[in-house]
C-alpha cells in the first residue's frame, strides 16, 4: 500500500491510573499504548486516509499489543523487533481533574535504538508525506540519524516532509542543543508544526507572525503554529496567511490533541485542500481529541467532525 502519510518514531506502552490523585495511591491501572507519530498515523486512518508507521519495538507482549492495535486502526506497520531491549513505557496520572502528568521510562529501550537501517525505503518513497518529530532527535544519535535517513529517502523520491517540533524537555539537558537539532530537521521539511513555546525555541521569535516568518525563512513551504485555546495560525510560501479560532468543547484530556491537529491538517493536504480547510479540520480534530481520555482513542472519524461542526442537538442518539 502506498500511504498518504507515513510516520516514523517511537511508540510506548502506556499505563494509566484509573483514579484521580497521586500515583502512590493508585491501585488499578489500564494498559494501552501511545506515541506522537503513531497517534498521527491513527488520526489519518480514522479520517479515511491511508497511513503507515515505522518504528522499533521490543520482542515482547507490549510490542505485540502496539502492532495489533495499529493494525486494528488500519495503520500499516513497518516494525523492527528488538530482542535485546524491551518496548519503552510511560505512566500517566491525573493529579487533579483536567490535568495529566506523564512519566517516561524510555532510555535504552527499543524505541531509542531505532536506526537508519530500520527505515524501509519503499514505504517512505511510496508515500505522499513523511512525518517526523523532534522526539526522535531527543532520543539519541541513532533515532536522530534514522529521521534524517528517512528524510533523505523522501527527498530523493519527491515525497513531502512534515516535521512537528514536539519538544520534550526531559530528553534534553540543554535547550540550545534541542533548538539546534530541531532547526536541522525544520530546514529539511516542507511543513513545520510547532506550539507557540516550541516555535519560540525553534526561531527565537516571541510573536506568532515573527515565528511564522522565521520558519518560512528556514525553507518550509508551510509554517503552522498551534495556539491551543487561541486556535492556530498558518503562513505559506505563496503568501497565504490565515488564523483559525479554536472549537469550544468540554475538555477531558488534552494529551494527543496536538497530534490530532497534525493528522487533520496532513489528511486534508493529501486531499488537495486549501489552507482554510486544512486549518479548520486540524482545529476540529484537536478539539474532538480533547473530549475523551487516552492518547489516540478519542481521535475523530468524519462523523465525529460533522457532529462537532453541527453543534447542539440532542446528546442522546436513538
Q: How many CA atoms, within 13 angstroms, populate the side-chain half-sphere of residue 148?
A: 13
| Contact assessment for residue 190 and residue 160, using Cβ atoms and an 8 Å cutoff | yes
Pairing of strands 191-195, 241-244: unpaired
What value, to the nearest 5°, has the Cα angle with vertex 112 and ends 5 and 99?
75
Cα 121 to Cα 13, 76, 146, 306, distances in angstroms: 27, 15, 12, 37
Measured between its terminal Cα atoms, the distance across the chain in Å is: 38
Cell of 183: 532547526
**Any catalytic annotation for residue 259?**
yes
Cell of 52: 503507515
Cα 25 to Cα 43, 95, 252, distances in angstroms: 33, 11, 21
Q: Which of 236, 259, 280, 295 is catalytic?
A: 259
List Cβ neighbours of 226 (8 Å cut-off, separation of 6 or more). Answer: 193, 194, 195, 196, 232, 258, 261, 286
Strand partners, 14: 32, 90
Strand partners, 104: 90
The catalytic residue positions are 259
Amino acid at each position: 500500500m502506498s500511504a498518504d502519510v507515513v510516520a516514523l518514531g517511537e511508540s510506548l506502552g502506556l499505563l494509566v491510573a484509573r483514579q484521580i490523585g497521586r500515583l502512590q495511591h493508585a491501585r488499578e491501572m489500564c494498559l494501552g499504548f501511545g506515541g506522537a507519530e503513531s497517534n498521527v498515523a491513527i488520526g489519518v486512518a480514522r479520517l479515511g486516509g491511508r497511513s503507515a508507521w515505522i518504528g522499533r519495538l521490543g520482542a515482547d507482549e507490549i510490542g505485540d499489543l502496539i502492532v495489533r492495535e495499529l493494525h486494528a486502526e488500519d495503520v500499516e506497520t513497518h516494525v523492527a523487533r528488538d530482542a535485546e531491549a524491551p518496548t519503552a513505557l510511560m505512566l500517566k496520572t491525573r493529579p487533579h481533574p483536567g490535568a495529566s502528568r506523564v512519566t517516561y521510562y524510555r532510555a535504552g529501550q527499543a524505541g531509542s535504538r531505532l536506526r537508519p537501517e530500520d527505515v524501509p525505503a519503499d514505504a517512505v518513497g511510496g508515500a505522499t508525506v513523511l512525518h517526523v518529530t523532534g522526539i526522535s532527535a531527543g532520543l539519541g544519535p541513532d533515532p536522530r540519524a534514522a529521521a534524517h535517513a528517512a528524510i533523505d529517502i523522501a527527498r530523493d523520491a519527491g515525497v513531502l516532509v512534515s516535521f512537528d517540533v514536539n519538544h520534550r524537555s526531559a530528553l534534553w539537558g540543554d535547550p540550545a542543543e534541542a533548538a539546534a537539532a530541531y532547526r536541522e530537521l525544520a530546514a529539511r521539511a516542507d511543513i513545520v508544526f510547532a506550539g507557540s513555546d516550541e516555535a519560540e525555541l525553534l526561531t527565537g521569535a516571541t510573536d506568532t507572525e515573527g515565528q511564522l516568518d522565521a520558519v518560512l525563512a528556514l525553507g518550509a513551504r508551510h509554517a503552522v503554529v498551534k495556539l491551543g485555546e487561541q486556535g492556530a495560525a498558518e503562513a505559506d510560501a505563496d503568501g497565504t496567511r490565515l488564523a483559525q479560532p479554536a472549537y469550544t468543547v468540554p475538555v477531558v484530556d488534552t494529551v494527543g490533541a496536538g497530534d490530532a491537529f497534525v493528522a487533520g491538517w496532513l489528511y486534508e493536504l493529501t486531499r488537495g485542500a486549501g489552507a482554510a480547510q486544512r486549518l479548520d479540520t486540524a482545529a476540529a480534530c484537536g478539539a474532538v481529541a480533547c473530549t475523551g481520555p487516552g492518547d489516540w482513542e478519542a481521535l475523530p472519524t468524519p462523523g465525529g467532525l460533522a457532529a462537532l461542526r453541527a453543534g447542539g442537538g440532542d446528546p442522546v442518539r436513538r
